[in-house]
Amino acid sequence: MSQMLSKKGLNVSLNVFDKPKYDIIVILWPVLELLQTALEHSPKAHIGVLNPGELSWANKLNKEHKILLNNIDFFLVTGFMWRDLLLRYNKRVYQVIDYEYAENKELKKHKKTDNLIIGYHGNRLHYAQDFFPNGAQALKRLSNKYNITLKILTNNIDNQPRIKGVNTDFIEWELDSYESHLSSFDIGICPYFSTMNQLTDPFVYIRNPNRINSLLFYGIPSVASPIPQNCQVLKDQETVLFAVSEDGWYHAIEDLITQPDLRNKIGRAGKKMVEEKFSSKVATSKFIEMLNDEIEKPVSEKMGISESFIKKLNKQPYNFLGRIKGIIN
How do residues 12-23 score in pLDDT, each as one tens digit?
888 888 778 999
- Scanning 166-235, the segments in alpha helix (DSSP H) are 175-182, 202-205, 210-216, 228-233
Contacts of 199 (CB under 8 A, 6+ apart): 193, 205, 227
Give all strands of the β-sheet with 187-190 in edge-to-edge order.
168-172, 148-154, 116-121, 187-190, 222-224, 241-242
The rounded mean pLDDT for the chain is: 90
pLDDT above 70 covers a percentage of the chain that reads 94
Q: How confident is the model at residue 315 (pLDDT cuts 50, 70, 90)?
A: low
pLDDT above 90 covers a percentage of the chain that reads 69
Instruction: Report d(CA 152, CA 245) in Å as an integer.
Output: 21
pLDDT for 314 equals 58
pLDDT for 43 equals 94
Please state the rounded mean pLDDT for residues 141-164.
96
pLDDT for 313 equals 64
- Set out the domains of the chain in order of their start, with CATH numbers: 2-99+280-328 (3.40.50), 116-277 (3.40.50.2000)
pLDDT for 329 equals 28
Instruction: Report d(CA 259, CA 2) in Å as an integer.
Output: 42
Instruction: Report d(CA 6, CA 102) in Å as an integer.
Output: 19
> What dihedral do alpha carbons 125, 236, 255, 109 form, nearest 10°?
-90
Please state the rounded mean pLDDT for residues 164-170.
97
Residue 138 burial (CB count, 10 A): 25
pLDDT for 322 equals 33
User: Does the pLDDT value for residue 317 go beyond 50?
Assistant: no
How do residues 273-312 score in pLDDT, each as one tens digit?
999 999 999 999 999 999 999 999 999 999 998 877 777 7
pLDDT for 185 equals 99
